[in-house]
Amino acid sequence: MKTWKKIALILGGVVVLLAIVGFSVQQSRKGVVPVQTGKVLKEDLIAVVTASGEIKPKVYVNIGANAFGKITHLYVKEGDRVKKGQMLATLENVQSAADVSATRAAVNTAQTDYVAAQAAVNTGQAELRQAEAEFERAQLDYNRNKALYEQQLIAKADYDTKKAAFDTASAQLNQAKAKLRQAQAQQDSANMRIRQNTANLTRVTDVLSKTEYAAPFDGVITNLPVREGETVVIGIQNAPGSTLMTIADTSVITAEVKVDETDIVNVKMGQPAEVTIDAIPKQKFKGVVTEIGNNAIIRSTGVSTAQSTASSQEAKDFKVVVTIQDPPPNLLPGLSTTARITTASRTGVLAIPIQALTIRQRGDLVPEKDKKKKEKVVQASAKDDKANGDSKEELQGVFVLKNKKDAVFVTVTTGISGTTDVEVTSGLQEGDEIVTGSYKTLRTLRNGASVKVDNTPAKKTEESS
């Protein structure tokens, strides 16, 4: 055989052999799923709840109008610092001041009448004592002369004279008693007029005081919606013309944020927080949770569920107040803020990426390629499986790489969640290799599927110019 024929046969054999090998490799790679993997490691985890809101002073008060009238004086302007008791504003008070003066004069008059009535009572008491003494003398004379007359020792004219004197003394005594009772009644009447006019003085003084407004505590004027000369009215809080100003105690500043109802169960009093403010970028302020609302707030309306008459399935939030430690002096109420509340922390716990967690129904854990090997493939989940378990029961777990080629679903129990990782309390051991991606692969990956590890970073697609 010629040499070139031998070479041709050899080359043909090699081609056929390569074709057979390529076909075999292609067939063996059918059904192999490319996956990304990671190791189960021990980490330090911090669970954080993030919520947005605004800066508010812990103590503030809206000073509302207590009377109808025109503002005659405004002694402060927005941003001023005031002391407790400092005069802030006055309303026109001509009528109320006149009422106070008139009522005070009436009180003085009633007090004078009472003094006069008291003198009349004293005079009546003296006259009564005099009348009683005269009555006793006349009675003794009458009794003595009556005995003498009965013994016919005196003339009837003398007896009649003594009897008339006794009757006169008795009448004068009754008159003195009546006069004393009259003076006492006048004294009681004067006393009641004093009490009545004093009560009226208290009322009109209160009306007058409602035209003057003083600072209830040391603070800063944070809102002043009225001007001197405007007329204010008694009305609903925050209604136009009913709120004169707002005073805030800026010594204690808080971040009032709204926490989602799914996170509020993890928030507790005294938990530390980190506060950022949009107006002060690149700065973080330490804080602590000091108040947690008990009523849910409907997110779309901002109304508490306790005030809503109809039930709602809308998303709800809860108010949480974070007191900021060492706030800067330029921190103004109303600034937008975000609070990151640390709800839990763990040191040296097993952790996996959150995206590695997936959900499967119990009935889907039987590999399609070999149902006879069911017990071997689902051995990791058999501990949680009942003899007659519901095939629709949903199980939380991860896919663990076995023999570097098979992905086996393992149920796990999780603890706290960090920003990117979640704590695993049971089901895995340190060093286990688990499937972490891609998301599309994890969503469709079946238990016991053959996989190929590809941890090559994905290339970024260049943006078209």
* Contact indicator for 217, 59 with CB cutoff of 8 Å: yes
What is the full per-residue pLDDT of the chain (465 aa) written as tens digits? Answer: 556 566 666 666 666 666 554 544 444 445 688 899 999 999 999 999 999 999 999 888 988 888 888 999 999 999 899 999 999 999 998 888 999 999 999 999 999 999 998 999 899 889 889 888 988 988 888 888 888 878 888 888 888 888 898 889 899 889 988 988 998 999 999 999 999 999 999 999 998 888 899 999 998 998 898 899 988 888 665 566 678 899 998 888 999 999 999 899 999 999 999 999 999 888 999 999 999 998 888 888 877 877 766 666 778 899 999 999 988 877 888 899 999 999 999 999 999 999 999 999 888 877 545 554 544 444 444 445 444 456 788 899 999 999 888 899 999 999 998 888 999 999 999 999 999 988 888 888 888 888 888 888 765 544 443
pLDDT of amino acid 149? 79
* Amino acid 425: pLDDT: 92
Separation between Cα atoms, residue 184 and residue 125, nearest integer Å: 10
pLDDT at 27: 40
Residue 85 Ramachandran class (φ > 0 left, ψ -120 to 50 alpha, else beta): left
Q: Computed over its alpha carbons, how large is the radius of gyration of the chain?
A: 50
**Residue burial 98-115, b: 16+ Cβ < 10 Å; e: rest:** ebbeebbebbeebeebbe
Q: Which of 318, 328, 337, 320 is nearest to 279 (CA)?
A: 337
CA torsion sign for 144, 145, 150, 153 is positive
pLDDT at 404: 82
Look at residue 362 in the predicted model and tell me its pLDDT: 85
Residue 378: what pLDDT?
47
Q: What is the DSSP letter of 40?
A: -
List strands edge to edge, sheet with 231-232. Answer: 212-214, 87-91, 69-74, 231-232
Helix (H) or strand (E) holding 131: helix 94-150
CA dihedral 371→373→375→378, nearest 10 degrees, is -80
Q: Are strands 449-453 and 33-39 parallel, antiparallel or unpaired?
A: parallel
Closest CA to 319 of 301, 343, 303, 295: 295
Helix (H) or strand (E) holding 452: strand 449-453
